[in-house]
Amino acid sequence: MKIVGISGNISAPSRTRALVENITQQAAQKAHTKPTLIDIAQFAAELGSTVSYENFPQVLSDAYQAIEAADLIVIGTPVYKASYTGLLKHFFDLLDPKKLTGKVAILAATGGTDQHALVLEYQLRPLASFFGVATAPTAIYARDNEFIDYRLNSDAIESRIDTAVNQAFNLLDHKAAQALAA
């Protein structure tokens, strides 16, 4: 099983990256595999200057290949002005919509207040749906004050992660059973 996390933050260090790493590590531990992390901050300049579907920079091609090969994707973003980051949007804008059909995702976001938590439902879930990605019903939103030194420090969020990972694996099991029945 291949697990890929996408951190949509454009700065480092990043609470979003820490959250995505936490989720992917928990999922990878359950699957006995090693996750891959795609950190938008590491190639923001290359991504921002890419405006064509042809001749992607190698770092971007590698990221898209990792996502296309993934069974489980964790999509994480900080919330800016009630939305996910512009470079994360651009990253998905350049991705062929057919390449993610049938994949499973866990959605995650970080922000300063609970007022931003709905971004998971009204922006990230529709984005995943557009790409034909099934999402775990439980999404994970963590406030900035639930981190200490960019490390998650919340039993409640850890519990949500556990629930979301279990739901994602149930979706993957259901998908595998359907493939066997076909």
Q: What are the mean pLDDT values of the chain's consecutive 10-residue runs (182 residues total)? A: 96 95 98 97 93 86 96 96 92 93 97 91 96 98 96 97 98 85 74
- pLDDT tens for each residue of 5-34: 999 999 889 999 999 999 999 999 999 999
The closest alpha carbon to 56, from 8, 91, 87, belongs to 91
Whole-angstrom distance, CA of residue 120 vs CA of residue 124: 5
**pTM given for the model:** 0.95
The stretches of 14-151 forming alpha helices (DSSP H) are 15-31, 44-48, 58-69, 86-93, 119, 125-130
pLDDT in the model for residue 98: 93
Whole-angstrom distance, CA of residue 1 vs CA of residue 4: 10
pLDDT in the model for residue 105: 98
Contact between 9 and 85 under an 8 Å Cβ cutoff? The reply is yes
pLDDT in the model for residue 176: 82
pLDDT in the model for residue 17: 97
Q: How many CA atoms lie within 13 A of 153 on its CB side?
A: 8
pLDDT in the model for residue 53: 77
Domains of the chain, each with CATH number or no CATH: 3-181 (3.40.50.360)
